[in-house]
């Protein structure tokens, strides 16, 4: 006897989501245009943009990398004019980092390009019904991300 209200196998759904989201993430990384930020640069700049100014050592801890690696990443971002150092108003001996207007614009351009890339794939490869399913799934995926 089969029930109509049978619960989906949570392990199976979790595995399918991990695989598909992982593949999407890898495809984004692989399609990075020449001259775009490296992964560590993008991650550091995004964190500064979303969470505000911080010290290089605090940023290294948040990104879970060594202070030396973060120093190299920040130096590259500074050379490109994407982040700036300022004196910490609470302790003038320390420096804090924040994105420049050019850094914020680069992030916005990157997000817009990724959105356009997704929109093009949706328009050319998916039916209207499939697009509606993905629209309905988007808030659920966001909620899932926040619950991990």
Please report the sign of the dihedral spanned by the C-alpha atoms of residue 31, residue 144, residue 51, residue 95: negative
The reply to whether 137 falls in a domain is: yes
Q: Residue 1: what pLDDT?
A: 47
- Kindly report, residue by residue over 110-127, the tens digit of the pLDDT: 889 889 999 999 999 999
Which of 43, 56, 51, 62 lies closest to 88, judged by CA? 56
| C-alpha span between 72 and 76 (Å, rounded) | 6
**Secondary structure (3-state) at 84:** strand
- Kindly report, residue by residue over 35-86, the tens digit of the pLDDT: 688 889 999 999 999 999 999 999 999 999 999 999 999 999 999 999 999 9
The reply to whether 78 falls in a domain is: yes
| C-alpha span between 132 and 147 (Å, rounded) | 24
> The CATH number of the domain where 89 resides is what?
1.10.10.10
Q: pLDDT band for 132, please (50, 70, 90 cuts).
A: very high
Q: pLDDT band for 93, please (50, 70, 90 cuts).
A: confident
The reply to whether 95 falls in a domain is: yes
Q: Which domain holds residue 81?
A: 38-147
The reply to whether 76 falls in a domain is: yes
Percent of the chain with pLDDT over 90: 75
Q: Residue 118: what pLDDT?
A: 94
The reply to whether 32 falls in a domain is: no
How many folded domains does the chain comprise? 1
Asked if 85 and 95 count as a contact pair (C-beta separation under 8 A), the reply is yes
The reply to whether 7 falls in a domain is: no
The reply to whether 67 falls in a domain is: yes
Which of 95, 104, 96, 88 lies closest to 49, judged by CA? 104
The reply to whether 60 falls in a domain is: yes
- Kindly report, residue by residue over 21-30, the tens digit of the pLDDT: 999 989 988 8
């Amino acid at each position: 006897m089969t029930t109509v209200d049978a619960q989906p196998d949570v392990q199976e759904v979790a595995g399918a989501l991990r695989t598909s989201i992982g593949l999407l993430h890898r495809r984004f990384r692989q399609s990075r245009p020449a001259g775009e930020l490296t992964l560590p640069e993008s991650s550091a700049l995004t964190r500064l943009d979303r969470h505000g100014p911080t010290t290089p050592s605090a940023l290294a801890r948040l990104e879970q990398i060594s202070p030396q690696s973060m120093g190299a990443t920040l130096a590259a971002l500074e050379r490109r004019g994407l982040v700036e150092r300022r004196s910490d108003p609470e302790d003038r001996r320390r420096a804090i980092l924040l994105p420049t207007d050019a850094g914020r614009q680069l992030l916005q351009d990157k997000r817009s390009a990724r959105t356009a890339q997704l929109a093009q794939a949706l328009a050319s490869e998916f039916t209207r019904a499939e697009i509606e399913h993905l629209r309905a799934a988007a808030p659920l995926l966001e909620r899932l991300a926040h619950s991990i």
